[in-house]
């Protein structure tokens, strides 16, 4: 881990955020859904573009976008032998829909702020087919009981609980050691909360005190859905260069977990 942290510090100078903002923009209407021509056989960070539930829980599909997507892709190319799709120096990150055909070209789809998402029947059926055919969904950055209850209602449209039970992913699971050894579930707050609170990590106090990793597996035990709750893993990627204290506290652990998840999705 010491070598990993040192390696990350060395490459912090690589900044690709400006190019990403110019390419993708921030607005929902301006977001460009991936097409067949965008997939080139190399790794793409596939982010789920979903409709908001309008429940006031905060967050959206844009949470941590696009810097988290870009920075994880860069670190993945530096710390593994995975070939990352790029145009020049900029990783090609893609937006996919729960009801879209483009979903099926992504071994892993990452979804931010699932407590703000809603699926209709068509989207749920398409996402179910994707997961059962071998795809994997990772949801990140949900906090507290209200956001969790909303998300559980949505994922149960996709995978009915009578057939697909949800469970705590134990630290003995393969996903914690596909490349780096992760010995604990990191609770990573957004950088604003961390700095304002003087180093706090639970964004909703007692209601989000314990970071959790939940899963839903297929009949063979393969994780189809990975859910990191009461933690914001992706903020440790997005904000890696914003503040040294935040970086050293969270980014090495956040990248270790993220790279493990990517490798697991591509090998199971």
Phi, psi at residue 30, to the nearest 5°? -85, -5
Domain boundaries, the chain: 2-267
Cβ density class 77-101: b for 16+ within 10 Å, e for less: bebeeeebbbeeebbbbbbbbbbbe
Give the homologous superfamily in CATH for domain 2-267.
Answer: Domain of unknown function DUF4159 (3.40.50.12140)
**How sure is the predictor about 55, in pLDDT bands with cuts at 50, 70 and 90?**
confident
The CA-atom distances, in angstroms, between 54 and each of 22, 50, 116 are 28, 12, 7
Closest CA to 47 of 70, 22, 81: 70
Let me know how long the chain is.
268
The CA-atom distances, in angstroms, between 154 and each of 40, 94, 148 are 31, 23, 10
What secondary structure does DSSP assign to 243-257, as a single string? -HHHHHHHHHHHHHH
pLDDT above 70: residue 15: no
pLDDT above 50: residue 26: no
| Per-residue pLDDT tens over the stretch 152-189 | 999 999 999 999 999 999 999 999 999 999 999 999 99
User: What is the dihedral sign for C-alpha 215, 173, 4, 266?
Assistant: negative
Cβ density class 107-137: b for 16+ within 10 Å, e for less: bbbbbbbbbbbbbeeebbebbbebbeeebbb
| Per-residue pLDDT tens over the stretch 130-158 | 999 999 999 999 999 999 999 999 999 99
**d(Cα 227, Cα 219) in Å, to the nearest integer?**
18
């Amino acid at each position: 881990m010491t070598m990993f942290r040192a390696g990350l510090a060395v490459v912090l100078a690589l900044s690709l955020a400006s190019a990403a903002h110019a390419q993708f923009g921030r607005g929902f209407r301006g977001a460009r859904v991936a097409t067949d021509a965008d997939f080139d056989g190399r790794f793409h960070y596939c982010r789920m573009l979903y409709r908001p539930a309008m429940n006031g829980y905060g967050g959206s599909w844009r949470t941590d976008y696009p810097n988290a997507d870009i920075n994880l892709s860069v670190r993945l190319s530096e710390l593994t032998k995975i070939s990352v799709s790029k145009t020049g120096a900029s990783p090609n990150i893609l937006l996919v829909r729960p009801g879209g055909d483009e979903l099926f070209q992504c071994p892993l789809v990452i979804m931010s702020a699932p407590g703000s998402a809603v699926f209709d029947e068509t989207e749920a059926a398409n996402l179910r087919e994707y997961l059962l055919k071998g795809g994997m969904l990772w949801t990140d950055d949900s906090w507290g009981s209200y956001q969790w209850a909303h998300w559980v209602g949505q994922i149960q449209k996709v995978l009915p609980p009578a057939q697909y039970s949800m469970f705590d992913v134990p630290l003995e699971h393969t996903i914690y050691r596909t490349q780096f050894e992760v010995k604990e579930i990191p609770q990573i707050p957004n950088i604003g909360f961390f700095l304002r609170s003087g180093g706090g990590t639970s964004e909703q106090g007692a209601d989000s005190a314990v970071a959790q990793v939940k899963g839903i597996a297929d009949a063979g035990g393969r994780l189809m859905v990975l859910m990191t709750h009461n933690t914001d893993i992706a903020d440790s990627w997005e904000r890696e260069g914003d503040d040294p204290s935040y970086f050293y506290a969270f980014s090495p652990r956040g990248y270790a977990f993220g790279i493990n998840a990517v490798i697991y999705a591509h090998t199971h």
